[in-house]
Chain A
Amino acid sequence: MSTSSSQSAALTATGRPAPGGWVALAASQHIRLVAVWLALIVLPFVLPNNYLLSLANLAFINLILIAGLNLLMGYGGQISLSQAGFFGLGAYTSGVLNVELDVTPWLGLPAAALVAGGAAALVGIPALRLKGHYLAMATLGWNAILIVFFVQFIDLTGGPNGLLGVEPFSIFGYALDREPRVFPLVWATSFLVMLVILNFLRSRSGRALRAVATNELGADAVGIDSFRIKLVAFSLSAALAGIAGSLYVHVNMYASPETFSIATSILLIVMVAIGGAGTFWGPVLGTAIYVLLPQFLAGFEDAELLIFGAGMIVVLVAFPGGLASLPTAVARWVGRRA
């Protein structure tokens, strides 16, 4: 069956995919991803000023963090309280390599992914051997330890004052140091990350991860090593956080410890839930809320956090599936009224 014919045959009259149309459906998810990212190209042209564009750039970086966490949390059923810590580990790895050894950010970025992913494997090996939510506890401690390192290793990290003198990414001597120049970098990287996640989910490993999260007894019976696949997911989510960290430090040309605190880790978990844990597009919605809401609430000053928190509770109580479940929930509600 050729690709084009299988695509047209993917959906039968009942709206249910015909046998053999599954490959075409998988392809259509890829097409949707490409379409959305192509649409996002307009951002630098429609946003009225560089401040808003800087927010968009930040959103792409945060999307990598949140989508990575969603992979572990939404699809793997494991909670990590150190996504911000791995974000920081990536930022300091890439930043310090650049400041101290003059390593180009293009090498710093894969190094950040390797260091964060490798550190996750070390934390995960003891924590994931145990059944239950031991990973949440271990990562809570791990994020705290990382913060101590970031603050105390003053010679390398600059301590509480932050890491200064980080160079931006550059292409043939052309520095990506202003918002319109940063945009293509974060836009393309976040696209590749979303592509990696989609490929993973549609693979033998991705199915194994979801199987373990859905029913560990059943997963065991079909020969899946649940410890191993959870460890893979945890390392992958941390490696993605490392990539986000590298982008962050070279875009801001600065990093300081409080950005990577446990509070940030918790907020990232909330954003995964708000967007819709275990859905592919949920993190995009969660990221939008994460970046935009504080802008709207800034006028409320001290009440900002209160309103933010209350809003989160309302959304999660009304839509336990997150914002990504909104269309289905509305459709069901309309259907009931009709």
Chain B
Amino acid sequence: MTPILDVSDLTCQFAGVTAVDDLSFTVDRGQIKAVIGPNGAGKSTLFNMIAGVTRPTTGTISFDGSRIDALPTFRRARLGIARTFQNLQVFQEMTVLENVMVGAHTTGRAGTMSAIFATLRQQAEERDLTETAHALLTRFGLADKAQLKAGALSFGQMKVLELARALASDPSLLLLDEPAAGLPHGEADRMGEIIVDLNRNGMTVLLVEHNMRMVMSLSHDILVLNNGRRIAEGDADTVRQHPEVLAAYLGESEDA
């Protein structure tokens, strides 16, 4: 079976600095794959290239067997790639429910004209969408916040909301940019549980994360970057004992 995501010979340079250097890897269907590495290792640049925010200098990215590296972000989303953001990009002025409904934008059919005249089909779609969004909020414990402005939520709730928004489009690949960043221990653990649960139901996840405990406990496969290059790849035990990984992390004396 072809991998859902195939990154090949990917390089990204900014003004002479090579952020990602000739990197190749794949993500298989049903996998939780984590990308880790010290600060400045190129994780965010890699993530942004897959999401479509940053263009690679050379190399290719294929999703579901077809090239996506030249597509704008919104087209990648339409193919089934959903993402969350490290520094939250919720629609603060819209309600929690509307945030999730916007998340399902790609699944909707109704155009502007059918909206203006409130056609029966548009109304039916709207009702279904509202129900689906409510179900997602209920699942993530935000149902009682549905009518609040998203900006009124706590940081942790916004992180969960962003995840719910990403899931509303029923994606086939979920990109998580530091899902545990900024969360207290308990909430980070809960986020981990949510991710594992999603994966059990078939979701493929690619995540960038600093929280080692989380990465080691839930990932099937871990890619370790340093200076834009792969220094190790494999399951938690392999990566944990890899000499280059130890050197990269201990050299920075990062306690994770």
- How does the 8 Å CB contact mask read for B150-169 relative to A, with 1 for contact and 0 for none? 00000000000000011011
Which of A19, A204, A223 has most B Cβ within 10 Å?
Answer: A223
Residues of B within 8 A of A9 (CB): none
Expressed in whole angstroms, the minimum distance between the Cβ of B70 and any Cβ of chain A is 16
Residues of A within 8 A of B93 (CB): 210, 214
| CB pair B73 A221 closer than 8 Å | yes
Partner of B169, one of A19, A196, A215, A222: A222
Q: How far is it, in angstroms, between the C-alpha of A231 and the C-alpha of B105 when the chains are bound?
A: 17
User: In the complex where A23-B127, A203-B122, A221-B77 touch, is A215 in contact with B91 (Cβ < 8 A)?
Assistant: yes
Residues of A within 8 A of B78 (CB): 223
Residues of B within 8 A of A217 (CB): 53, 85, 89
| CB pair B102 A236 closer than 8 Å | no
Residues of B within 8 A of A226 (CB): 74
Whether a CB of chain A sits under 8 angstroms from the CB of B106 is yes
Whether a CB of chain B sits under 8 angstroms from the CB of A206 is yes
| CB pair A200 B116 closer than 8 Å | yes
Q: How far is it, in angstroms, between the C-alpha of A81 and the C-alpha of B118 when the chains are bound?
A: 30
Residues of A within 8 A of B144 (CB): 16, 19
Whether a CB of chain B sits under 8 angstroms from the CB of A187 is no
Whether a CB of chain A sits under 8 angstroms from the CB of B83 is yes
| CB pair B146 A22 closer than 8 Å | yes
| CB pair B102 A203 closer than 8 Å | no
Which of A20, A22, A202, A224 has most B Cβ within 10 Å?
Answer: A22
Partner-contacting stretch, out of B58-66, B107-115, B194-202:
B107-115
Whether a CB of chain A sits under 8 angstroms from the CB of B82 is yes
- How does the 8 Å CB contact mask read for B116-135 relative to A, with 1 for contact and 0 for none? 11100010011101100010
Which of B78, B93, B138 has most A Cβ within 10 Å?
Answer: B93
Could you tell me which residues of chain A, from 196 to 249, have a CB within 8 Å of some CB in chain B?
Answer: 196, 199-200, 202-208, 210-211, 214-215, 217-226, 232, 236
User: In the complex where A22-B97, A236-B112 touch, is A219 in contact with B102 (Cβ < 8 A)?
Assistant: yes
User: In the complex where A205-B111, A205-B112 touch, is A221 in contact with B101 (Cβ < 8 A)?
Assistant: no
Expressed in whole angstroms, the minimum distance between the Cβ of A14 and any Cβ of chain B is 9
- How does the 8 Å CB contact mask read for B64-104 relative to A, with 1 for contact and 0 for none? 00000000111101100011010001111110011001110
Whether a CB of chain B sits under 8 angstroms from the CB of A17 is yes
Expressed in whole angstroms, the minimum distance between the Cβ of B75 and any Cβ of chain A is 8
Residues of B within 8 A of A219 (CB): 74, 91, 102
Q: Which A residue's beta carbon lies closest to that of B109?
A: A204
Please classify the interface of chain B as helix (H, G, I), strand (E, B), loop, or mixed, using the class held by over half of its residues: helix
Expressed in whole angstroms, the minimum distance between the Cβ of A115 and any Cβ of chain B is 18
Q: How far is it, in angstroms, between the C-alpha of A297 and the C-alpha of B100 when the chains are bound?
A: 48
Which of B51, B73, B111, B122 has most A Cβ within 10 Å?
Answer: B73
Expressed in whole angstroms, the minimum distance between the Cβ of A20 and any Cβ of chain B is 7
Q: How far is it, in angstroms, between the C-alpha of A16 and the C-alpha of B97 when the chains are bound?
A: 13
Expressed in whole angstroms, the minimum distance between the Cβ of A194 and any Cβ of chain B is 12
Whether a CB of chain A sits under 8 angstroms from the CB of B236 is no
Q: How far is it, in angstroms, between the C-alpha of A215 and the C-alpha of B94 when the chains are bound?
A: 10
Which of A217, A221, A224 has most B Cβ within 10 Å?
Answer: A221
Q: How far is it, in angstroms, between the C-alpha of A96 and the C-alpha of B139 when the chains are bound?
A: 59
Which of B53, B74, B103, B138 has most A Cβ within 10 Å?
Answer: B74
Expressed in whole angstroms, the minimum distance between the Cβ of A220 and any Cβ of chain B is 4
Residues of A within 8 A of B115 (CB): 199-200, 202-206
| CB pair B90 A218 closer than 8 Å | yes
| CB pair B85 A218 closer than 8 Å | yes
| CB pair B112 A221 closer than 8 Å | no
Q: How far is it, in angstroms, between the C-alpha of A226 and the C-alpha of B126 when the chains are bound?
A: 21
Q: Which B residue's beta carbon lies closest to that of A22?
A: B130
| CB pair A225 B74 closer than 8 Å | yes
| CB pair B110 A204 closer than 8 Å | yes
Q: List 5 A-B contacts (CB under 8 A).
A: A16-B148, A200-B116, A203-B112, A217-B53, A223-B78
Chain B residues with a Cβ under 8 A of chain A: 51-53, 72-75, 77-78, 82-83, 85, 89-94, 97-98, 101-103, 105-106, 108, 110-112, 115-118, 122, 125-127, 129-130, 134, 137-138, 143-144, 146-148, 165-166, 168-169
Other than A217-B85, A218-B89, give 11 A-B pairs with Cβ distance below 8 A: A23-B130, A203-B112, A204-B105, A204-B110, A205-B110, A211-B105, A220-B74, A221-B77, A222-B77, A222-B103, A223-B169
Chain A residues with a Cβ under 8 A of chain B: 16-17, 19-20, 22-23, 25, 196, 199-200, 202-208, 210-211, 214-215, 217-226, 232, 236
The 4 closest A-B pairs by CB, nearest first: A203-B115, A223-B77, A218-B89, A223-B106
